[in-house]
Amino acid sequence: MYLHEYDNWWDFRYDKGRVMNELGRIRAKQGLLLGRMMSLGFDFQDEALLSALTMELTSSSEIEGENLDFKQVRSSIARRLGIETAGMVEASRYVEGVVMMLLDATTHYDEPLTDKRLFGWHNVLFPSGMSGLYQIEVARYRSGEMQVVSGPMGREKVHYQAPSPERVPQEMERFIHWINSDSGIDDVIKAAIAHLWFVTIHPFDDGNGRIARALTDMLLARSEHTSKRFYSMSAKIKLQRNIYYDTLEHTQRGDGDITDWILWFLQCFDQALDGTNETLSNVLDKARYWEYFAHLTVNERQRKLINMQFDGFFGKLTSGKWAKIAKCSSDTALNDIKDLLEKGMLVKNGEGGRSTNYSLTEV
């Protein structure tokens, strides 16, 4: 039997002792990370937010085998959040749509979930009404049967059979009411349960996984009482994609005990928090650099070029590149660089002449 075939299947059971032991440790880590990131200046918070959201959205799509253009996603998020950043490019209509979905989930995390809101998310995932070569029902719950299968045609393996379509509206009404109610469950645990519950109903023709992960992001934002996200849950799920699907399948074929699913979710969340240093390394390095040299004064050109160097926009720094990017004369570029060398903010590489280039001082 599948999980949803039991009476009152949504009355999930789990080992509260094991779960709460893990939750307490992870909640403490979550609070430390949030405090650390909030201690950064607003500009660095914006950069960290931009990096984390870009990673989250591209990773969530990659789990489904879809590769979004990283620069388009980053540019779309930056424009919608009013963050100025170098290297902005135009984003496709589709990228703009999926960015809107993620930002609606995280920015408006405290707003009620509704059918209409979910339909809006589904619509931006499939603006043409097509999923690959096939037309699907968009912005409404499915009217057909749904199976999760893998393998070549004629030898497919059925991993999951979702509830019949006539059950979906009632199942979703119950799910949405639970999301919006104060059930007394910690929001991190609620995020784990919501993810499982939603994909078990599988209410749409396609896009259920991506919407489930958007719901996860929404509830994790509620758990922190802020729309600022500094880690990517989907990036860690992507690295464990096979375990993710295996754990889902095992739980959906179970009898309502979801302990293993929640513990796996918490482990993944724990790794996402730990992965912040790697995901946001440039932002954190930049913040440390400017904090270390906060007592020194630089001009606007110097600040811009240093920040661009952190972001890796032009490789090795030379006086010629400085003049071209800053749109200034060669003499001005050399004076800017000489000033930063004297202040200890740059170091000189190379043997001199045309091979001379410069690097940021490590702090």
Q: Is the dihedral of CA 39, 44, 46, 51 positive or negative?
A: negative
Residues 198 and 328 grouped into a single domain: no
Kindly report the average pLDDT of the chain as a whole number: 92
CATH number, residue 108 = 1.10.3290.10
Q: What is the dihedral of CA 114, 117, 121, 126, to 10 degrees?
A: 100
Over 70: is that where the pLDDT of 267 sits?
A: yes
Residues 323 and 222 grouped into a single domain: no
pLDDT given at position 255? 92
- Classify the phi-psi angles of 328: left when phi > 0, otherwise alpha if psi is within -120 to 50, otherwise beta: beta
- Looking at 233, 252, 281, the residue that finishes a domain is 281
- Distance, in Å, from the CA atom of 204 to the CA atom of 138, rounded to the nearest integer, reads 8
Domain assignment present for 289: no
- Distance, in Å, from the CA atom of 277 to the CA atom of 296, rounded to the nearest integer, reads 27
User: Which two three-digit tokens encode residue 190?
Assistant: 């609620």
Backbone angles phi, psi at 139, to 5 degrees: 60, 30
The lowest-confidence range among 66-80, 153-167, 221-235, 312-326 is 312-326
pLDDT given at position 353? 64
Residues 37 and 114 grouped into a single domain: yes
Name the residue range of residue 339's domain: 297-360
Over 80: is that where the pLDDT of 114 sits?
A: yes
Give the end-to-end CA distance of the chain in Å, rounded to a whole number: 59
pLDDT band per the 50, 70, 90 thresholds, residue 275: confident
pLDDT band per the 50, 70, 90 thresholds, residue 276: confident
The lowest-confidence range among 5-14, 115-124, 145-154, 295-304 is 145-154
- Looking at 255, 281, 307, the residue that finishes a domain is 281
Domain assignment present for 355: yes
- Distance, in Å, from the CA atom of 136 to the CA atom of 147, rounded to the nearest integer, reads 15
| 294 or 154, which is more confident | 294
Residues 103 and 7 grouped into a single domain: yes
Residues 111 and 208 grouped into a single domain: yes
The β-bridge partners of 347 are: 359
Residue whose tokens read 């393998």: 151
What does the longest C-alpha to C-alpha distance in the chain come to? 79
Residues 248 and 317 grouped into a single domain: no
User: What is the 3-state secondary structure of the chain?
Assistant: CCHHHCCCCCCCECCHHHHHHHHHHHHHHHHHHHHHHHCCCHHHHHHHHHHHHHHHHHHHHHHCCCCCCHHHHHHHHHHHHCCCCCCCCCCCHHHHHHHHHHHHHHHCCCCCCCHHHHHHHHHHHCCCCEECCEECCCCCCCCCCCEEEECCCCCCEEEEECCCHHHHHHHHHHHHHHHHCCCCCCHHHHHHHHHHHHHHHCCCCCCHHHHHHHHHHHHHHHHHCCCCCCCCHHHHHHHCHHHHHHHHHHHHCCCCECHHHHHHHHHHHHHHHHCHHHHCHHHHHHHHHHHHCCCCCCCHHHHHHHHHHHCCCCCCECHHHHHHHHCCCHHHHHHHHHHHHHHCCEEEECCCHHHCEEEECCC
Residues 156 and 42 grouped into a single domain: yes
pLDDT given at position 136? 95
Domain assignment present for 42: yes
Over 90: is that where the pLDDT of 350 sits?
A: no
- Looking at 252, 281, 310, the residue that finishes a domain is 281
How many CB atoms neighbour CB 310 within 10 A?
A: 16
- Distance, in Å, from the CA atom of 239 to the CA atom of 229, rounded to the nearest integer, reads 19
pLDDT band per the 50, 70, 90 thresholds, residue 86: low
- Split into its structural domains, the chain has a count of 2
- Distance, in Å, from the CA atom of 144 to the CA atom of 165, rounded to the nearest integer, reads 6
Residues 196 and 311 grouped into a single domain: no
CATH number, residue 323 = 1.10.10.10
Residues 180 and 36 grouped into a single domain: yes
Q: 247, 267 in Cβ contact below 8 A?
A: no
Domain assignment present for 326: yes
Cα-based distances in Å from 312 to 160, 295, 315, 316:
45, 25, 6, 9
Residues 196 and 301 grouped into a single domain: no
pTM greater than 0.75: yes
Domain assignment present for 319: yes
Over 70: is that where the pLDDT of 293 sits?
A: yes
Residues 211 and 342 grouped into a single domain: no
Residues 269 and 146 grouped into a single domain: yes
Residue whose tokens read 């920040």: 307
Domain assignment present for 63: yes
Domain assignment present for 288: no
pLDDT digits (tens, 9 = 90+) for 116-173: 999 999 999 999 898 888 899 999 999 999 998 888 777 788 899 999 999 999 999 9
Domain assignment present for 44: yes
pLDDT digits (tens, 9 = 90+) for 182-235: 989 999 999 999 999 999 999 999 999 999 999 999 999 999 999 998 999 999
pLDDT digits (tens, 9 = 90+) for 26-50: 999 999 999 988 888 888 889 899 9
